[in-house]
Chain A
Amino acid sequence: AVRDYLSPVLRESKFKEHGRITPEEFVAAGDFLTFKFPVWQWEKGDSSRARDFLPADKQYLITRNVPCLRRATAVNYTDADEDAEKLMSFLDEAEEAAGPDGKKRGKDEEWVTTHIGRGEQDCSYENDIPPPLNMLHDITPTSADQTITEIPDISDSPTLGPSSAGATGGIANLSLSDKQEVAGEEEIPDMDDIPDMDDEGAGLEEEDDAAVKIVHPSADEVKSTVGQNLLQVRTYDCIISYDKHYQTPRFWLFGYDENKNPLTPAQVFQDVPADHAFKTMTMEPFPHSGQQLASVHPCKHASVMKKFIDRMDAQAEVASGVGAGGSTAPGAGAPGGSGKRKWGIGGMVRKVTGGSGGSKDKKEEKGEDGDEAEEKGVQVDFYLVIFLKFIASIVPTIEVDSTTATAM
């Protein structure tokens, strides 16, 4: 916080050079995000904690109740997930770029290419306990081969029946819910203080046939009823704030369980792949309310974002060279022809560009190289759209990237 306090507010646009943005650019990008994807909205926050370099009513961005369908430990990643694969290899490249402090990063600090070719694995470490450090090391790209051999190879049969899937992930998750229940009971403090625990609801109301009985499914049922529209799911409030020191957006999470109770930090980290939990993702005080929220540490955001932007610029050039609006790249997630499989963002952003008349108003925000940027490549308005793609790779089970699902 001291560093944050002492850092000067970034005034010049460093968007193209370093992937960092000014508060004004953050607001412009946020305006674009809220305009294009109204699930996002600006929030004032606690006015006594307002940051003076941002407009009073545009302190941070929030989207509420983003569903998280599975625990990160139970996610079945497949080789077919072309996007994730590219994204990750791309993150590796970003490592070679210098960080905001100008130093090259050490090997052991790498963004990890997880989830590639990894079969469904049961959560071998007990749910609430952080994985031992050596385990984190095991799943680095350098030891990818050995990791794969260690994992029971279920990926050959991705359409596992619910019964067999339940044998691994199911049981692990069941023990989780049992544990939670026990913990929940233990949490109720001082039984002496609370009289009549059992008959709390007695006599309050009579039987009612017209109400649907909500049944919270077990982990097994969750697996077998996917697609049947009957799930009670965890949801997250996702927040993007502006980090003055790192001059990038910063991502925060606040979770609710299936019963809309706040998640504990340990539960939140079940939804973060082990490679990021407690490393790049930690609990920190949210500057606009002081609450402890899970946050992705922004120290590498700038370099990653720069790589993203460079790549998109290059792609945009190629695309405009080929010409013809007819050659739209396949949208994100849509498996296209083998030769044409591109990283999805390029196509997505071009679609966004085509659809927005208002983006030209932001011309003056782009700084000196505005003219060049107007002609080709990424405008700063897209910054947060790209940022969300990046975040989606860190928390793959949280459907934070509504930008692919939304009609455009």
Chain B
Amino acid sequence: MPPLQFQPLSSQPTPSFWSALTSHKLDKLKLDDAQQTITAWLEEGREVVDREAASSSGGGGGTVGVDGVLGIGANAFGEEGERPPTGSIPLAGVFKNFNTIEEFRATDTKKDLFNSVVDSIIASFSSDAPVLNPFLLVTFADLKKYVYHYWFAFPALVSKPAWEISNAGLQTVDDEDVQEIRRLGEQLLENGAAGSEGFLVKGPKGQRVAAPLSHATDFFAGIPDDERTVAFHDPSSRPDNPGWPLRNILYYLSHRHALTSLNVVCLRSGAASRSGRLSLPSQLESVGDRPQAVGWERNKAGKLASRVADLGPMMDPTKLADQAV
């Protein structure tokens, strides 16, 4: 049984988010650098048909996976703004804007922030509505140059031992099953269930029932392992790897509800959904007060480093004047 690997999330702030951050910083925050809550959205992974490849290889094949992103737009600060794309789910996170680049670069403050988010995840485990996938965004806005330094983190608790996937790997799912599971998930949301990124499913095809993640112990009582299923909205589009948010869902289920074997359904848009059988080789080792956590977003070179969005060409009045003919 190979260990299960997860596709890291990638972030995608829209240009309007930086505009909103600029006005938020100038009009509301000013020099206040306290952390605050913001909202983003999480898209599902999808497959698109590559017309070029489809025509040159004589039809068939020709699909390209596009990972869903964690998008953040002008509505992040709770004001009116862009709507999240259809089919995406909202995700809350912690935001902190530093006033100087030195503070932004300092490792200790970022580490403390990250740990506080991890603590909040673990603390929420004992509540009825666990917050499993909050994200962290730290920024430094160079407003004179329209250059924004930023770094996202998607804290994930490291499971020891690691989850494994059956040798069959992830399989495609029947469209009917996906439809049914999606419908159940939507019903849960309408009934006000928290934790929109995933939910539990049991029962035979056509007669499935669903419940929020926090009900796992009761919901799966007396159900054989191979009928226990967790479904989640999967930003990954890779055929063999589920997306990042599953990590904390699995950690929560094993840590809090002592589940060691279950099926997973990765809900992706179109016909790209997949399912697989996961298991833990043994119960979680008991760790101290805090398990190891990872999740700072890596840059293009795969290194841990912040990113820069340079919107000068789009927003800087002097550069715009140069372009205007």
- Using CB atoms and an 8 Å cutoff, list the residues of chain A in contact with chain B: 38-39, 41-44, 47, 62-65, 67, 69-70, 75-76, 78, 80-81, 158-159, 187-189, 193-196, 199-206, 208-216, 226-227, 229-233, 235, 237, 254, 256, 258-262, 264-265, 283, 285, 289, 291-293, 333, 399, 405
Contacts and interface: CB of A to CB of B under 8 A. Distances in A.
B64 interface: yes
Contacts of A237: 14
Interface stretch (B29-37, B81-89, B200-208): B81-89
23 contacts: A44-B80, A64-B71, A65-B71, A70-B52, A208-B294, A210-B4, A211-B294, A212-B7, A214-B10, A214-B298, A215-B302, A226-B52, A227-B61, A229-B63, A229-B65, A229-B237, A237-B14, A254-B15, A260-B12, A261-B307, A262-B309, A262-B310, A405-B48
B111 A229 contact: no
B82 A43 contact: yes
Given A211-B8, A227-B50, A289-B19, A200 B64 contact: no
Contacts of B63: 227, 229
B105 to A, nearest CB: 6
Nearest to A215: B302
A212 B87 CA distance: 25
The 9 closest A-B pairs by CB, nearest first: A201-B304, A260-B12, A208-B294, A227-B61, A229-B65, A226-B53, A292-B314, A38-B86, A259-B300
Contact of A201 (B49, B51, B305): B305
B294 A291 contact: no
Nearest to B104: A194
Contact of B247 (A47, A210, A213, A227): A210
A265 B14 CA distance: 16
A212 B7 CA distance: 5
A291 B19 CA distance: 9
Per DSSP, chain A at the interface is: loop
Given A64-B71, A208-B294, A210-B5, A333 B15 contact: no
B6 to A, nearest CB: 6
B147 interface: yes
Given A227-B61, A231-B64, A65 B69 contact: yes
Per DSSP, chain B at the interface is: mixed
B143 to A, nearest CB: 14
A283 B8 contact: no
Given A80-B55, A204-B296, 14 more contacts: A38-B86, A39-B86, A65-B43, A188-B308, A189-B147, A196-B105, A201-B303, A210-B6, A214-B10, A214-B298, A227-B61, A237-B14, A291-B19, A399-B48
A76 B309 CA distance: 32
B135 interface: no
Interface in B21-63: 43, 47-53, 55-57, 61-63
